[in-house]
Amino acid sequence: MRRRFAFAAAALSFAILLALLIWQGSFRINYEPSTLTETILLQSISTLIFLLTLTMAFLLFRAVVKGYIDRQKNREGSRIRSKLLFGALVLTLAPTLLCVLFSGYVLNRHLDLWFSSTAIKKLDDLYRKEATERLAADTRWLSLLPETRKAAVTGQIDSAFFRKLSKEHKMFQLVLQRDGKVPLLLYQAFEKPRSALIQAGADVFDSGRRVGRLAVVATLSEEDEIAQPNFTSDLAGRKKFYQDTYFRLICLITLFVMFLAAWTAQILSRQISIPISALLGAAQQVRAGNLAYRIRVSAMDELATLVRAFNEMTNELEANARELESRRRFTEAILESIPTGVISVSANERIELVNRALSGIFSQAAISSAKYLEDLFSGDDLAEVRYMLKRARRTGAAASQIDIQRPDAVLHLAVTVAALEQQRGFVMVLEDTSDLLRAQKAVAWQEVARRIAHEIKNPLTPISLSADRIARQLKRLDPQSPALPILQECTQTIQQEVQTVKSLVDEFSQFSRFPRAKLISIDLNEVVESALAVFAGRLDGIELITDLDRTIPCVMADREQMKRVIVNLIDNAAEAMTDVPLRKLRVATRQSPAETVELTVTDTGPGITGADKEKLFLPYFSTKGRGTGLGLAIVSRIITEHHGSVRVEDNFPSGARFLVELNPTPGAEHGISEADRVHPATL
């Protein structure tokens, strides 16, 4: 609204200035005012024109200076604005200057012709002829007067009449020549004539008869003084006056045309440069990431279409950016939620992005400080990874198995590498397959145990029967026979070893065909107390510490199998502390932050190495050098069937800690309170 008002005011001022300029240039205003009103009017118009011209000159000068400063500061749109203004001025000034030069040449040429000696002589002759004709007319009029006719007939002169008449008509001499008589002097001026003299004559008639001739001598009038010789001295001044006046008028018109062209160019340049500057600024905002920026300037024609198209483009870009951001967040959420580690690697092996699950494979400190793959992998592992990168670059994807040695265990990783398009890098997926391999090994050992038990058990029966038969036959021999004691001892040895092998086969069979767990809601603390009762009086030299949380919820488990798990863990812990001076055994239960129930059995023995932790729950592996090595394998099998987990950790300052996690009963309340529970005796 304000811009429209300013534009309307400027247009009105321009129209008023144009009207005043045309009015004053039309020479209809009296340049020599004779009244006070005309003087005030002329001064007011001249002052207004001067002030408006001065204002326009100042505004134009300010626009030029501002354009120069903007161009020096390299502001957007300043160059095209200055070029448009300069081009408009050049296009306007060129024809205007040619018009001025042509008009000046024509003016000077005509003034030279107008004020030449030939023109002055012709003008003087014209003026003298006109004055003579006018005097002849006056003479004919005087010849018809009664006083003139009376003087011609009677000779009587009315001197007062002719004197008054001569002075009124600026006559210098009146002479009446009568036919056949003496001429009469009707009037004679005795002062020196101030201008050239002219004469004329007319016949005097009386009743149709010529009675004389009137001769009149007069000076040129003031209107005819231009043709006199004294006017020649003023000719140069008048010529210069006309030249200066016309030149000023041409300069005024030229200045007006220049102002008009400048303001027109200024308006047109603003209509072009302002939208272009806004587009450039908007492009910078979009390049900086501000997709919400919109152009709020008014434009016309194709520029308006361009501004509208730009705003529509930014709208689509913003919508696409929001969609991409939503997809990125969704992808990141998926990436962070998957249990496998993911590494985004550039073409030069630089680590660009990792997910949260990678911290389960490498330490957080190693991930935070790692910038390249060589910071995470080393030695043969790095060589294997680089081989997979090269293969993925050729074939698109590659996979392999690598083992990572950690301080507490060995991780078996399944590594898959996929190459991105246009050589932008790779995506590595690292999956910890240690549990899977452990389960596969357990299944394999179960199958081995089943087959061994089957293959061994078949010959045991005939061996045992044969030993029994030999023993019966030995009873029939002579007791005094020297070979009898030897045979009896051998028979007994055979029977004992067969029984030993049967026990081993029974353990194999038990491991391979372990009864399915019957999960019911039980109180884990009661099972722990029941298992501790088995070791009553059998833990000599071992300090037993129990820390049972009485508020834990019930768990879904098989009571007998869980009791066997606890017994095996306590027995292994006691075995591990046989040769150490400080022997403490701690059994504790608690509810973990992950809403699971934890059972921990901690000892102060020599601990377990990282390599042994990897194989600790496999069948037939033992760090004691004795036994079948099936105890912890059975524990792992039972906990797996209970949908829980078991792991071993280092105890500080020494020893090992076995941690069992079980799921609570859905909707179960916490265990009975401390006051309602009977504590077991401290063992």
Per the CB < 8 A criterion, the answer to whether 500 and 456 are in contact is no
H or E element that contains 188: strand 184-188
pTM of the full structure: 0.38
Please report whether residue 486 resides in a domain.
yes
pLDDT of residue 413: 79
Burial 389-399, CB ≥16 within 10 A → b, else e: bebbeeeeebe
Percent of the chain at pLDDT > 70 equals: 70
pLDDT of residue 17: 64
Residues 475 and 591 in one domain: no
Q: Which of 290, 144, 256, 115 is nearest to 206 (CA)?
A: 144
Please report whether residue 213 resides in a domain.
yes
Cα angle 537, 538, 539; round to 5? 100
Q: Which of 523, 516, 518, 517 is nearest to 664 (CA)?
A: 523
Domain that holds residue 89: 17-115+238-281
Backbone region of residue 667 per phi and psi (left: phi > 0; alpha: psi in -120 to 50; beta: other values):
left
Give 673 or 162, the one with higher predicted confidence.
Answer: 162
Distance CA(401)–CA(259), nearest Å, equals 85
Going by pLDDT thresholds of 50, 70 and 90, the confidence category of residue 299 is confident
Please report whether residue 531 resides in a domain.
yes
Please report whether residue 425 resides in a domain.
yes
Alpha-carbon Rg for the chain in angstroms: 66
**419 CA to centre of own chain:** 30
Please report whether residue 624 resides in a domain.
yes
Residues 524 and 655 in one domain: yes
pLDDT of residue 681: 32
Please report whether residue 592 resides in a domain.
yes
Cα angle 456, 462, 464; round to 5? 90
Give tens-digit pLDDT for 544-598: 999 999 999 999 999 988 998 998 899 888 888 888 888 999 999 999 887 899 9
Q: Say whether pLDDT at 599 is over 90.
A: yes
pLDDT of residue 370: 86
pLDDT of residue 546: 93
Could you give the number of structural domains in the chain? Answer: 5
Please report whether residue 321 resides in a domain.
no
What count of other Cβ atoms lies within 10 Å of the Cβ of residue 168?
A: 8
Residues 21 and 104 in one domain: yes
Please report whether residue 67 resides in a domain.
yes
What is the average per-residue pLDDT within 147-154? 83
Give 672 or 126, the one with higher predicted confidence.
Answer: 126
pLDDT of residue 226: 44
Range among 64-78, 201-215, 547-561 with highest mean pLDDT value? 547-561
Residues 549 and 630 in one domain: yes
Q: Say whether pLDDT at 334 is over 50.
A: yes
CATH number of the domain enclosing 631: 3.30.565.10
Give 321 or 612, the one with higher predicted confidence.
Answer: 321
Going by pLDDT thresholds of 50, 70 and 90, the confidence category of residue 180 is confident
pLDDT of residue 278: 81
Give tens-digit pLDDT for 502-551: 766 666 666 555 556 788 999 999 999 998 988 887 788 899 999 999 99
Q: Which of 550, 561, 556 is nearest to 589 (CA)?
A: 550
Residues 500 and 550 in one domain: no
Give 538 or 651, the one with higher predicted confidence.
Answer: 651
Q: Say whether pLDDT at 1 is over 70.
A: no
Residues 649 and 533 in one domain: yes
Residues 502 and 549 in one domain: no
CATH number of the domain enclosing 180: 3.30.450.250
Give 474 or 34, the one with higher predicted confidence.
Answer: 474
If you average pLDDT over every residue of the chain, what do you get?
76
Residues 361 and 490 in one domain: no
Tokens of 193: 């004539």
Range among 44-48, 83-87, 489-493, 561-565 with highest mean pLDDT value? 561-565
Tokens of 213: 């001739």
pLDDT of residue 353: 83
